[in-house]
A = this chain, B = another copy of it.
Amino acid sequence: MSTFGQIFRVTTYGESHCKSVGCIVDGVPPGMSLTEQDIQPQLSRRRPGQSKLSTPRNEKDKVEIQSGVEFNKTLGTPIAMLIRNEDQRPHDYNDMDNYPRPSHADFTYLEKYNLKASSGGGRASARETIGRVAAGGIAEKFLKQVSNVEIVGFVSQIGSVKMDRDPFDPKFHHLLNTITREKVDSIGFIRCPDVNLAGAMVQEIEKYRGNKDSIGGVVTCVVRNLPTGLGEPCFDKLEALLAHAMLSIPASKGFEIGSGFQGVSVPGSKHNDMFYFDEETQRLRTKTNLSGGIQGGISNGENIYFSVAFKSVATISQEQETCTYDGKPGVLAAKGRHDPAVTPRAIPIVEAMTALVLTDALLIQKSRDFAKSITH
């Protein structure tokens, strides 16, 4: 459904062609300074129209806080936020009405809800993610205050152009330790921190744009400075919550944490993260981090890092041989311009969902911390 989280909880609403999209964030820490300026940057990063690589629809996506804040301080009560839908253009899609768009949600929404929204699969629209990103802004600000938690996503693959994500490679971990959003954005809208690859990725996208086609990509995300102890075994292991969050993002097809699918072929003797005592932080740390910062479903204080696969966008201008709702074969081509590669724009969504998961897990763990302080 449209609610996510247990004691820090987000509920979103809205599709492409309604009055507004937005969310209610419940369980917000009280007394936190908060204005729309805290929320807007990630919304703007998510926004289409940031470069020629993305769709030219010029949505403004200005967030308006409705409740839960007084004199720029959170009250602890639910914070509702809305972002108006300005560029609705519902008639753009008229010609396609008889066709369920291939690999889009038109057919499944019809099966589930027995209706065809003018926007096709209503909540399968990318605009659905705006509420998530707005909510993530609050979560991120809180995590920053708790322990300077940093969440940074970047593009690690576009089509066949792929950064090495070798969990044994110190360079990869150096990147994870040092990458910032500023660096990610400084490379341009492609948001790949490897400057050489970034150019190849842009070319890859341009190639598919020229063909009226689209292409997928991978977002890799790192979380630094997270406290230990987060995650609630056995079903709500921290990686399980992250996987849930990531696979709920439109077009995502895969998730891997730490060594991921590569780790399968690494023997235990190499895959195990040996412990050592770190003099600087005066605590146990691990020499390697194949685990990706989570062991037994619980954060261990090392960097959390994971990757999310995004398939190529389903809406393409190329002609497609498919059939109508009533089974007649035909040719369908989307009108208008379409974003050939949404992966770079998925970054703030990945970051937001990460922040939502971590804030909820952290707040629950703080309760566990209290409990164990009492009983010992």
In the complex, which of the residues B128, B252, B294, B300 contacts A234, with contact meaning CB atoms closer than 8 Å? B128
Known: A1-B235, A103-B291, A372-B114. A264 touches B159 (CB 8 A): yes
Tallying the copies of this chain within the complex gives: 4
Binds B, one of A53-61, A175-183, A187-195, A269-277: A269-277
Mask: chain A, 237-260; 1 = CB below 8 Å from B; 0 = not: 101111111111010111111111
A154 CB–B CB distance under 8 Å: no
Chain A, 138-176, CB within 8 A of any chain B CB? 142, 145-146, 157, 159-160
| A19 cross-chain contacts in B, Cβ below 8 A | 64-67
Please determine whether A312 and B374 come into contact, CB atoms closer than 8 angstroms.
no
A363 CB–B CB distance under 8 Å: yes
Bound-complex Cα distance A255 to B279 (A):
36
Can you name 8 A-B residue pairings with CB atoms under 8 Å? A3-B235, A19-B64, A20-B67, A31-B376, A216-B263, A216-B266, A242-B247, A253-B261
Which single residue of chain B is at the shortest CB-CB distance from A17? B70
**Which 8 A-B pairs give the minimum distances between C-beta atoms?**
A105-B296, A277-B327, A254-B256, A29-B371, A214-B268, A244-B244, A108-B298, A76-B113
Shortest CB–CB separation between residue A298 and chain B, in angstroms? 4
Known: A21-B67, A268-B313. A256 touches B259 (CB 8 A): no
Please report the total number of A residues contacting B with Cβ < 8 Å: 164
Known: A76-B372, A208-B267, A215-B267. A329 touches B115 (CB 8 A): no
Please determine whether A31 and B375 come into contact, CB atoms closer than 8 angstroms.
yes
Shortest CB–CB separation between residue A153 and chain B, in angstroms? 15
Which single residue of chain B is at the shortest CB-CB distance from A321? B274
| A9 cross-chain contacts in B, Cβ below 8 A | 1, 3
Interface centre among A27, A208, A248 (most CB of B within 10 A): A248
Mask: chain A, 5-46; 1 = CB below 8 Å from B; 0 = not: 011010111110111111010110111100000000000000
Please determine whether A320 and B257 come into contact, CB atoms closer than 8 angstroms.
no
| A242 cross-chain contacts in B, Cβ below 8 A | 247
| A17 cross-chain contacts in B, Cβ below 8 A | 70
Bound-complex Cα distance A301 to B9 (A):
27
Please determine whether A75 and B15 come into contact, CB atoms closer than 8 angstroms.
yes
Please determine whether B366 and A371 come into contact, CB atoms closer than 8 angstroms.
yes
Please determine whether A121 and B368 come into contact, CB atoms closer than 8 angstroms.
no
A304 CB–B CB distance under 8 Å: no
Bound-complex Cα distance A189 to B234 (A):
26
A68 CB–B CB distance under 8 Å: yes
Bound-complex Cα distance A237 to B105 (A):
12
| A18 cross-chain contacts in B, Cβ below 8 A | 66-70
In the complex, which of the residues B31, B68, B240, B259 contacts A311, with contact meaning CB atoms closer than 8 Å? B259
